[in-house]
Amino acid sequence: MLLFFGRGSAFSDAQNSAFFEPDGGLVLLDCPMSAFHALRRYAQSHTWNGIRVLVTHPHSDHIGGIPMLIHYAKHLLHIPVTVIVPTAELAGDLRFLIERLDGCKPADYTLLTVGECALPWLTAAVPVRHSEALDGRCFGYVLRIGGRDVVYTGDTSELTPFLPYLHRGALLYTEAACYDSGVHLYLDAVLPVLLRLLEEGTAVYLMHLDDEAAILEKISGTGLLPAPLWDETDRITGAGS
């Protein structure tokens, strides 16, 4: 359901960013600079009537490419960009970055809160605990894509807020950390829950990987899969293909 321009954590070469394409448009879940550069290559063989970016939280490995995307969409793609955030506070944060720090003009993009959107594929924004410095500004999303419920955790230290949305046939894209930092979802601790969700019929994909090789070894043979990557030959890689 989702493809990824990157599934790595903050210090990786391809930082976490997912996308899907409803009704002729492109929807990004976060946009680090690495995803912006991947999107430029993807755009060579794809066209859209607009781009929407759902922001999970304001760490630079999640929002760093948004201003450049706005410039690119205006001057080269000639399509509108809408940035969607869960709260008015986050809207203020993003406006400062986009306009004050990067110089985008207000007319070059649209900034909306989830409450101001009426999108058939956007079900809910779910507050989560992540970085203490960003308390109240970290969220995941529940989406409806192709008739299925899709849960995207963003960066989180807890899975509990998403459990009410998970059921047989749902898809869970959850971060998974090899190292126990206290601000990310530690795979060793959450593995029994993920395996139970698999048994109950939820498909589980792991993203925002801090040590991909170690995580792939831990999940080998379990049915858990890494989030599927888009590559430049338009094949899907890394999800059992």
1 pLDDT band (50/70/90 cuts)?
Answer: confident
**What pLDDT, on the 0 to 100 scale, is given for residue 241?**
43
Task: State pLDDT tens for residues 167-188.
Answer: 999 999 999 999 999 999 999 9
Q: For the residues 10-38, what does the mean pLDDT come to?
A: 97
Supply the pTM of this predicted model.
0.96
pLDDT higher for 66 or 234?
Answer: 66
User: Number of H helices and number of E strands within the chain?
Assistant: 6, 14
Give the strand order in the sheet containing 122-127.
Answer: 122-127, 139-145, 148-152, 171-175, 203-207, 225-226
State mean pLDDT over 125-132. 97
What pLDDT is stored for residue 150 in this prediction?
98
Tell me what the mean pLDDT of segment 105-112 comes to: 98
Percent of the residues in the chain that have a pLDDT greater than 90, as a whole number: 95
Q: Residue 233: its pLDDT value, please?
A: 66
Question: 225-241 burial, b for 16+ CB within 10 Å, e for fewer?
Answer: bbbbbbeeeeeeebeee
The reported pLDDT for the residue numbered 7 is 98
Give me the domains of the chain, ranges plus CATH numbers.
3-235 (3.60.15.10)
Instruction: State whether the Cα torsion 182-199-17-73 is positive or negative.
Output: negative
Tokens 């955030």 correspond to: 85
What is the pLDDT, as a whole number, of residue 114?
98
Q: What is the average pLDDT value for the chain, to the nearest integer? A: 96
User: Which pLDDT belongs to residue 93?
Assistant: 97
Confidence of residue 144 (pLDDT cuts 50, 70, 90): very high
When pLDDT is averaged across residues 108-134 and rounded to a whole number, the result is 97
